[in-house]
A and B are shown apart, each in its own frame.
Chain A
Amino acid sequence: MLEITIHGRGGQGVVVTSRILGTAALYDGLYAQDFPLYGAARRGAPVMAFVRIDDEPILMRGHVAKPDILILLDESIIGVKDIFSDLPDDCTIIINTTRNTGDFKDAHPEISDRNVYCVDGTGLALEYLKKPIPNVVIIGFLIGITKSITVDAFKKAVRDELGKYSEDVINKNIEGALKACELVAWR
């Protein structure tokens, strides 16, 4: 079973990220579970969401304690919550930041021996969407790094989950994400 935890702030698309991953897994013929965790939800407040993906029915419930993948959409969360302690040794960490991985690890030695990928998702989102909403772009990085879901399933899932937005917004999100996926391949 693959378990993913997503951290960010209300309005950045934390919940939508989990839903796109869950829906995409279903399109890939897998079992999935996705759910958000927030108290009184409001824009800007720390929000978490979780995804479980498996090739058999999922019996585990509740928040993910030991994620295989940790996605951080907003690095300022680090100052608010202790999100790096208790992570499993083989946890892959994807961080939306303008810093490079070396600088980030220097600043956070507690994760220096983990698989850390620093990516400028907000930069790509600004380039493609003209809006600082990095969530779909970050999923592109995730696909490039882990191949957890297929690109076809991802595209269908984005159409389902962003269905209330215009065709243009949906296409630009997908373009940005595919660009992110390519950037990973070039590393």
Chain B
Amino acid sequence: MRQMITGNGAAAWGARLSRAEIIPNFPITPQTAIIEGIASWIASGEMDADFLPMESEHSVMSALAAASSAGARVFSATSSQGLMLMTEMMYVTSGLRLPVILVNVSRGLSAPITLWSDHNDVLAQRDSGWLQIFCSNNQEVLDSVVMGYRIAEKSEVLLPMMINVDGFTLSATREPVEIPDQGEIDDFLPAYNPEHTILDPKEPMSVGGVVFDEYMYFRSQQRMAMCNSKGVIKDICSEWEKLTGRGYGLVEPYCLEDAERALVISGSESAILKYTVDKLRKDGEKVGMLRLRTMRPFPSEEIIDTLSDVEEIGVIDQDISPGSGGIIATEVKACLGRGVTSFIAGLGGRRIGAEKYEQMFKRLGRDVEEWIF
């Protein structure tokens, strides 16, 4: 079934098709429509789940962890300040190795208040031990939620996953999305059968207790799970491609085979960058794009494989770590072991547009940070 739906609608469909059972939630723009959509399906009987309106996002994350510990498949969504308020419990969720799926509809952090997309909220959680996926269109949002449970629930992974949806440019924008049949998804994604942690009064167990010297051992396991996730993500993505014809990976290279200049980007702005690459290629310019789809695990091997032969590289950050620079640029530089031009653009949803991408391609070759207003 092909329908015009928003990024928020696609996220809600992902949760519905995955048969998420517990939906703790707290409203925040621009995410609220995801939870509203799920609420209306639960009310109409189209979705069988418990809807838990909580008193804060901190409580939402606590409820996600608790319900997942009891063996439920859980889902929620948040944005910006809401994600910040979840922070403390996010580390608990990943430390307990719970396969929670959370959609973050990215929005610039206050102050001042903006409603528009910006990646500082999601990137503030890059060290939280969660898998992080950045979506480029609404179809990818739905697909990523369904694939997300398969990936997160694998015994060699068992990590929570955050799926990033750019506020407004995806969340409120409708585009054609193929909604798979429930039967097809039931075959792809069987019911969650927790083997690791299950809180059951008949067979009591304790989780998250006090450790001393062993703490570092748990952290190394988390790190190992993150390493394992790379292979699992690729496997699940290729299974999904066989089923639906839609392929994904850790990165999306575009026109990089013979590229002399390339821009690295993440999220929905990559569509306009592709348009720009097409336009410049028609003029004979050897330009390309690399979209980072997974931010955690960071796709180091893929970046080295696809960009090593490219002469001039720029990285676009819709985020800023004041006092350091573009967060993604810093990581790409460390990975490649050489300088890149770091462009800070699109903060708080500020329009970038094809003409600005053209400008960036002209300004590569310098290891500097440049703000594109």
Contacts and interface: CB of A to CB of B under 8 A. Distances in A.
- Do these two chains interact? yes
Interface of A: 19, 22-23, 26, 31-36, 39, 58-63, 65
Interface of B: 2-4, 6, 115, 168-169, 172-176, 268-269, 271-272, 274-275, 278, 351, 353-354
Contacts of A61: 169, 173, 268-269, 271-272
A187 to B, nearest CB: 32
Contacts of B175: 31-33, 58
A26 B278 CA distance: 25
A143 B353 CA distance: 30
* Residue from B3, B176, B269, B274 whose CB has the most chain A CB atoms within 10 Å: B176
A140 B275 CA distance: 32
Given A61-B268, A62-B353, A34 B274 contact: no
23 contacts: A19-B4, A22-B174, A26-B2, A26-B3, A31-B175, A32-B174, A32-B176, A33-B173, A33-B174, A34-B174, A35-B168, A35-B173, A35-B174, A59-B272, A59-B274, A59-B275, A59-B278, A60-B271, A60-B354, A61-B272, A62-B351, A62-B353, A63-B351
A34 B272 contact: no
Contacts of B172: 35-36
Nearest to B2: A26
Nearest to A40: B115
A21 B352 CA distance: 26
B4 A23 contact: yes
A50 to B, nearest CB: 9
Given A26-B176, A39-B115, A61-B173, A32 B4 contact: yes
Contacts of B6: 35
Contacts of B271: 58-61
Contacts of A33: 173-175
A32 B175 CA distance: 6
Q: Which 6 A-B pairs have the closest CB atoms?
A: A35-B173, A59-B275, A59-B271, A33-B175, A34-B174, A22-B4
B355 to A, nearest CB: 10
A143 B351 CA distance: 31
Contacts of A39: 115
Nearest to B269: A61
B198 to A, nearest CB: 42
B318 to A, nearest CB: 13
Contacts of B174: 19, 22, 32-35
B208 to A, nearest CB: 41
Nearest to A157: B4
A83 B365 CA distance: 40
Nearest to A22: B4
A33 B272 CA distance: 14
